[in-house]
């Protein structure tokens, strides 16, 4: 379709969505709304009076755009019109950059590239099919591994709390006072996972000399499915390079094979620039499923 053949769409800014607008927006896949204090602005694109696309502009520390154009109306310029409108909105709210996220090989990737977005960060999704022939875990002298399900055993609570704090993984959860109650803070992730009916497993590496937890791996098994998700795997900086990361991951995968033989695949996400973790996962047999990039463009370069 050439530019001359394109039917212009009308874009409406939805200032205070009522039930009708909400229903129209729900017909489009704009993802989860950003939690407060982010502000969100919605736009609907109409073609001959019918909704053909929608966009959400999410404004927090940065401004992010989410777009969805009805499949029958793609490649007619509606996405571009919505993007330009969002860029103008971001610019008006004093954001110099507009961010967007797309997975390689999808229409969105071509779309953002065509509009000059530059990659800011990329995350690889990896999958390991089970049962897998895992390499033998190499013992790391001076360290032992302890494993548990749900909240940490009482004797490891303080060490786990310190490890979480030192690795920057301590949840604040936005709950006032939670950091003053370490036990509560430590229980937040296990409780959230349990509330969803799933099971959290942790493997921790303990320095035998000090009793300190110097690294840990957390994994969720989704009850009633054959799937599991490896969450954080972290080794504190001064203990890296000793094989503790691989030790933890192998211990965890062996534990899952024993405790949940029904699990047929484990997935995980790695920053595409995290070479050590990608190397460990590749050695364990994880394979790339997809790569999702977050990119940005100067808002004024798109704003109409």
Pick out residues in 78-97 that bind ligand COA (CB under 6 A). Answer: 78-80
252 φ/ψ sector (left φ>0, alpha ψ -120 to 50, else beta): alpha
Please say which residue, 255 or 293, places its beta carbon nearer to ligand COA: 293
In sequence order, which residues have a C-beta less than 8 Å from that of residue 229 and are 6 or more positions away?
219, 220, 222, 266, 267, 268
Q: Which stretch binds ligand COA (CB under 6 A): 9-17, 73-81, 132-140, 263-271?
A: 73-81
Beta bridge partners of 297: 98
Residue 54 is a binding residue for ligand COA (CB under 6 A):
no
Shortest spacing between CB 83 and ligand COA, in angstroms: 7
Establish how many alpha carbons lie within 13 A of residue 31's alpha carbon, considering only the half-sphere containing its beta carbon.
15
Shortest spacing between CB 47 and ligand COA, in angstroms: 11
- Please report the beta strands in the chain, taking only residues with DSSP state E, as ranges in sequence order: 10-14, 39-47, 50-59, 63-69, 97-103, 118-129, 143-149, 199-207, 213-221, 227-235, 265-271, 287-298
Residue 25 is a binding residue for ligand COA (CB under 6 A):
no
Please say which residue, 78 or 156, places its beta carbon nearer to ligand COA: 78
Shortest spacing between CB 227 and ligand COA, in angstroms: 23
> Which residue of 67, 163, 217, 284 would you call a contact of ligand COA, by CB under 6 A?
67
Shortest spacing between CB 110 and ligand COA, in angstroms: 2
Determine the Cα–Cα distance for residues 235 and 51; give it in Å rounded to an integer. 50
Q: 144 phi and psi, to 5 degrees?
A: -125, 165
Residue 159 is a binding residue for ligand COA (CB under 6 A):
no
Residue 69 is a binding residue for ligand COA (CB under 6 A):
yes
Mapped onto helix, strand or coil, the DSSP state of residue 105 is coil
Residue 215 is a binding residue for ligand COA (CB under 6 A):
no
The 10 Å Cβ neighbour count of residue 156 is 20
Q: Which stretch binds ligand COA (CB under 6 A): 62-70, 88-96, 123-131, 248-256?
A: 62-70
Residue 76 is a binding residue for ligand COA (CB under 6 A):
yes
Residue 74 is a binding residue for ligand COA (CB under 6 A):
yes
Pick out residues in 101-130 that bind ligand COA (CB under 6 A). Answer: 102, 106-108, 110-111, 114
Q: Which of 274, 229, 271, 272 is nearest to 253 (CA)?
A: 229
Q: Which stretch binds ligand COA (CB under 6 A): 14-22, 60-68, 143-151, 178-186?
A: 60-68
Determine the Cα–Cα distance for residues 32 and 213; give it in Å rounded to an integer. 35
Pick out residues in 244-263 that bind ligand COA (CB under 6 A). Answer: none
Q: Which residues of 115-132 are buried (b: 16+ CB within 10 A; e: fewer)?
A: bebeeeeebbebbbebee
Residue 75 is a binding residue for ligand COA (CB under 6 A):
yes
Residue 184 is a binding residue for ligand COA (CB under 6 A):
no
Q: How many residues touch ligand COA (CB under 6 A)?
A: 18
How many secondary structure helices (H) and strands (E) does the chain include?
A: 8, 12
Residues that bind ligand COA (CB under 6 A): 66-69, 74-80, 102, 106-108, 110-111, 114
């Amino acid at each position: 379709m050439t530019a001359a053949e394109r039917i212009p769409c009308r874009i409406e800014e939805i200032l205070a969505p009522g039930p009708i607008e909400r229903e129209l927006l729900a017909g489009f896949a704009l993802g989860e709304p950003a939690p407060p204090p982010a502000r969100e602005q919605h736009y609907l694109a109409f073609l001959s009076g019918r909704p053909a696309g929608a966009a959400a502009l999410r404004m927090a520390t940065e401004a992010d755009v989410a777009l969805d154009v009805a499949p029958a109306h793609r490649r007619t310029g509606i996405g571009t019109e919505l993007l330009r409108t969002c860029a103008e909105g971001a610019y008006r709210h004093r954001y110099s950059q507009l961010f967007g996220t797309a997975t390689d090989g999808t229409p969105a990737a071509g779309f953002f590239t065509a509009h000059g977005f530059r990659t800011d960060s990329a995350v690889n999704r990896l999958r390991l099919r089970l049962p897998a022939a895992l390499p033998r875990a190499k013992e790391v002298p001076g360290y032992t591994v302890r494993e548990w399900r749900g909240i940490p055993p009482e004797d490891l609570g303080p060490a786990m709390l310190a490890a979480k704090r030192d690795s920057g993984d301590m949840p604040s959860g936005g709950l006032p006072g939670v950091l003053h109650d370490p036990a509560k803070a430590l229980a937040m992730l296990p409780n959230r996972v349990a509330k969803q009916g799933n099971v959290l497993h942790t493997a921790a590496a303990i320095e035998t000399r000090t009793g300190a937890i110097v690294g840990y791996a957390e994994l969720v098994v989704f009850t009633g499915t054959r799937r599991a998700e490896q969450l954080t795997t972290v080794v504190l900086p001064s203990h890296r390079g000793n094989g503790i990361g691989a030790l933890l991951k192998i211990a965890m995968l062996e534990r899952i094979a024993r405790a949940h033989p029904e699990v047929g695949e484990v997935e995980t996400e790695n920053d595409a620039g995290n070479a050590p973790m990608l190397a460990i996962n590749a050695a364990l047999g994880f394979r790339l499923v997809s790569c999702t990039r977050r990119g940005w463009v100067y808002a004024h370069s798109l704003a109409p």
